[in-house]
Amino acid sequence: MAVVAAGGCSNSSGQDHGDSAKKPAPQGFSGPEPSIPPLVPAAGGDPSEPVDFKGGGAVVRPDGSMSLPLDAYVPVKDERTIAQAENVLAQQCMRDMGLKLPQALMLANGTRPAAPYVLYGVMDMKAVKAHGYREPSPEPQTASGRRADAEITPAVERAYFGDPKNGRPGCEGKAREKLGGKNPETLFMLVQQLRSQALSATFHDSRVMATVAKWSACMKESGYRYDSPLAPAHDRRLLGKGLPVPKGATLPPPSPAEIAAAVTDIECKRKARYVQTAALVSAAYQREIIEQRAEQLQDARRTQKLKVAAAEEIIKNGA
């Protein structure tokens, strides 16, 4: 069942979000808390179904992905193109040293924002019934993951990563510098900083704090005492509760007790309309940031376009 936020950007009121016009915005923002569309009565939705929500510049999709206003400044397609170009340059650098760039060290799709469950906690009933709070994630494919791989010999690792602490970049750093200069991730890093600013404001916003309080009270009714929807996933007393830790592991596998808590967690999030409210509020703060930092974002975007054009040329010519 798709859940849609009705209406424009009028202030929500009463039971839904409170009188936001009378509450000051969190630190870093001027004026009152930004307006958000009111949620329709069914916005909580069926907890057995994935979140499917769109409104106020926020989109939360059934596949677990999310879009917010700042995402428009770093299109996935552009990040993928840049990653491909960096791979081409890194491969050439490694070949010049008589080495091969292993698949495990190739950048897959470039940099991406955090998944919604990382920001707001577990959201998908089907996933938690199978994995509890252990959200399944793909095996790291980028250099930062440094996945164990037989092809990553000490010589390959030294050539690729270099010695950045002593100012000696490897093929990874050289590729990024050749493509984008000394600070090749300017736009993404700026957007990440602004996303973080908006997220901090979101969690200090009175409307989100009210939904968190409702979620916490709902969890308490079932015997779970948490002040934040992000807390259960980090509670080692809960994770794998009642099961032994397998040899070589750091935690027990998801146990019935952990899964029961995660199921209750999602049910309480839906009752409190937490994810939808947090997404709407996040979008509202991001829109304010975009307005306040418009010139800086446009300058960074122009630089990014030049970088993407250079990346396309590198891919076309094969280095």
HSE on the CB side for 239, CA within 13 Å? 16
Q: 55-66 burial by CB neighbour count: b if 16+ within 10 A, else e?
A: bbbbbbeeeeeb
Q: Going by DSSP bridges, is the β-strand pair 162-163/53-55 parallel, antiparallel, or unpaired?
A: unpaired
What is the distance between the alpha carbons of residues 171 and 248, in angstroms, rounded to a whole number? Answer: 34
Q: What is the DSSP string of 57-97?
A: TEEE-TTS-EE-GGGGGS-HHHHHHHHHHHHHHHHHHHHHT
Residue 188 has pLDDT above 90, yes or no: no
Query: Tell me: the pLDDT tens digits for 83-124?
Result: 899 899 999 999 999 999 888 888 776 666 777 888 899 999
pLDDT in tens, 216-254: 999 999 999 999 999 999 999 999 999 999 999 999 999
162 neighbors 168 (Cβ within 8 angstroms):
yes
Give the single-character DSSP code of 231: S
Report the C-alpha gap between 125 and 265 in whole angstroms.
10
| Six-digit token string for 152 | 């990553």
Q: Which token pair is 295?
A: 């010139």
Predicted TM-score of the model (pTM): 0.78
DSSP annotation of 34: P
Q: What is the DSSP string of 93-153?
A: HHHHTT----GGGS--S---PPPHHHHH----HHHHHHHTT----PPP-SGGG----TT--
Residue 141, pLDDT above cutoff 70: no
CA geometry: angle 185, 186, 192, nearest 5 deg? 85
10-61 pLDDT, tens digit per residue, is 333 334 444 445 688 888 888 899 999 987 666 667 888 888 889 999 999 8
What are the residue ranges of helices labelled H in 205-240? 206-221
CA 255 to chain centre: 26
Asked whether 279 and 66 are in contact (CB, 8 A), the reply is yes
